[in-house]
Amino acid sequence: MYSPEAEHPLSADAAVAALHDYSTLRFYRGDVIGISFDAASGRNRLCRFAQANAVSLLPDSFSVRSRVHEYGGGAWCLVNDHACFINDSDQQVWLSPLDMSAQPEPLTRSKGNRFADLQYDAIRNRLIAVFEAHDSGEEAINSLVSIDLETGDVEVLVKGADFYSSPVIRPDGNQLAWIEWDHPSQPWRCTRLMLAQLDQQGRLIQPRQLSDKGDVAWAQPRFSPQGVLHVVGDRRGWWQIEMVTEQGIRPLAGVSPEHTEFTTAPWQFGLSTYAWDAEGHLLALGQSEGYSRLWRHEGDDWQPVELSLMPARLHALIADGKRLACVAEFSDRLSGILAIDSELTPDDPDQCELLRGGEMPHYTPSLPLSLSVPVAEFEVPFFLYRPVGAPSGQPLPLIIWTHGGPTAATAPVFKPAVQFWTQRGFMIADVNYRGSTGYGRDYRLQLAGKWGTSDVEDVEAVASDLIAQGLADSEAVFIRGNSAGGYTTLSALCRSELFRGGASLYGVSDPARLNELTHKFESRYLHWLIGNPETEPERYTACSPLEQAHHIGVPVIFFQGEQDRVVLPQQTEVMAERLRANGVRVETHYFADEAHGFRQPENQALVLERELAFYRSIIESR
């Protein structure tokens, strides 16, 4: 096994502490305010970013996070000189002055219920929000509501659909647009674009569906400064920006960039991938082959805007006159908040400014190689990270990473955890298996009825290809994944003999049980991914790692949060016991203070250390 000669510069603790994440940006008096995930405390801070500094605007007892759909998003908005935000501990809306002249005060008192996607209605001094009611004792009830900023009173604006998202108010305050959908669809498969007039009191008049009744995923409605409604839709195979005209929803003038998607799967609220500059030009973030770039639509032409800092992934775009800002993730450094002057050329050194983050590591990082392998009629993309200085002719231990989709994606961005592994002689293949977003609708929908089969074929093909090229050590190939990626990991261990061990982080092991107990947002998802459990129970048996556990003969390590409401801890407990009964070596690690996705830094570091020791013990026992 190759081991770098230099001492490991990045400990597990340092790898976790180096992680920074930013989201939900807004311009305020020339500065940018947004959410900064603080790895040291595991909380989301609301910060003001200026001159490379981040000033926290809330006391340490607050964390800005919504739990609607369990994944949240859209957890704060500007209200003049105040911030309205959702506090993680009680899921209520709070109001706080941005100058920190007073303590935050609760606005709503709807105990046990949740809010998300906050939007400010300045004309009527209220908020518009997605509301998730949990007080019925049955399945949660979703609706769009208004929240009076004086009294905190909550009034339902529209209900009846199973889900709502993305409320947006026309600049003159006369219209409200939103997205809605019903079971068994997901927002990346089939949704409806809705529009209603607003009366003086803000009540909805004659809500109507603007989109056709076809199988199209509409997302991110936005009004231009002139009041023209735009929306992103995938009816032409890729998520493209369109506009609403008197003749219906029409593509923008000109030919849209090929094989480019202008949004991603909306697992969370608050996505923002396009905006308008002071001249009325549309600026949008498009993703192609895993990488992002900024585009400008002017007249009937799309032109790429080349950025001097060359980020790999961009999101959370906002515009204020001639100034843009977004979250930028790079391949060679930490993520940051990027300010862009839309009028300057790429040759101008002042075109881009990092307001926060973007620090270069103090070591030479492993950079991603963008590769693919043919499977069926598709090219399955993945990003390969090799240890710096590794001999080219020596096969290396390989870990296949399966992202926590299945309708998500991984990007070629700097991940301290990847560097932790490559500095210890492991090679990482980060796979966008079929079903991943960012590669068009056809690719995204490939897991329909094939979850646990097509994704397994893809990760097996990647591993086989790297072994065949002499890059990977066939006796030291491992696979790991979180959530849905944990299901792919366990399924691969059931179906393939390539892997010598695996790690499941809060992974699905019993999809039939998940169907019965999971939350509303995903409660019908498995009907599409696997089949109807009432009419096709045999499919769940065939696709269940728990039921197929007798096919697993290699060691498995499990990490599970005891507060997880997406994949309940009992799934992991039963799966681990089944494997032990079959004589398989199993390690289990439970975290009392974690839910679906680990946030406490000491727990994240422990996962890295235990997983490393686990793989090394397998390699040493050969």
Average pLDDT of the chain, as a whole number: 93
Q: What is the DSSP string of 575-613?
A: HHHHHHHTT--EEEEEETT-BSB---HHHHHHHHHHHHH
pLDDT above 60 for 286: yes
Q: Could you tell me which of 147, 158, 156 has the C-alpha nearest to residue 194?
A: 158
User: Which of the four pLDDT bands, split at 50, 70 and 90, describes residue 447?
Assistant: very high
Question: What value, to the nearest 5°, has the Cα angle with vertex 607 and ends 605 and 611?
Answer: 125
User: Which of the four pLDDT bands, split at 50, 70 and 90, describes residue 42?
Assistant: confident
pLDDT per residue as tens digits for the range 134-143: 987 788 999 9
Cβ neighbours, 10 Å, residue 231: 24
CA–CA dist 500, 272 (Å, integer): 41
pLDDT at 346: 53
pLDDT at 473: 97
Q: Are 392 and 421 in contact (CB under 8 A)?
A: no
Q: Could you tell me which of 412, 407, 187, 373 has the C-alpha nearest to residue 289?
A: 412
How distant, in Å, are the alpha carbons of 3, 208, 230, 297, 396 from that of 248? Answer: 61, 13, 11, 20, 56
If phi over 0 gives left and psi between -120 and 50 gives alpha, with beta otherwise, what is residue 199? beta
Q: Are 202 and 146 in contact (CB under 8 A)?
A: yes
pLDDT above 80 for 5: no
In degrees and rounded to multiples of 5, residue 464 shows phi and psi of -60, -40
pLDDT at 3: 62
pLDDT per residue as tens digits for the range 215-250: 999 999 999 999 999 999 999 999 999 999 999 999
pTM for the model stands at: 0.94
CA–CA dist 548, 485 (Å, integer): 17
Residues in the chain: 622
pLDDT at 350: 59
Sketch out the chain's domains with CATH numbers.
Answer: 59-160 (2.120.10.30), 369-620 (3.40.50.1820)
pLDDT at 435: 96
Across 284-296, average pLDDT: 96
Across 548-559, average pLDDT: 97
Across 383-388, average pLDDT: 97
pLDDT at 596: 86
pLDDT at 348: 63
CA–CA dist 412, 236 (Å, integer): 26
User: Which of the four pLDDT bands, split at 50, 70 and 90, describes residue 479?
Assistant: very high
Please list the residues that pair with 31 across neighbouring strands.
28
Token pair of 49 as six digits = 């970013």
Across 517-536, average pLDDT: 90
pLDDT above 80 for 490: yes
Q: Which residues contact 58 (CB under 8 A, 6 or more apart)?
A: 45, 46, 64, 85, 96, 104
pLDDT per residue as tens digits for the range 307-343: 988 899 999 999 998 899 999 999 999 999 999 987 7
Task: Give the H or E element holding residue 35.
Answer: strand 31-38
pLDDT at 347: 59
CA–CA dist 337, 258 (Å, integer): 27
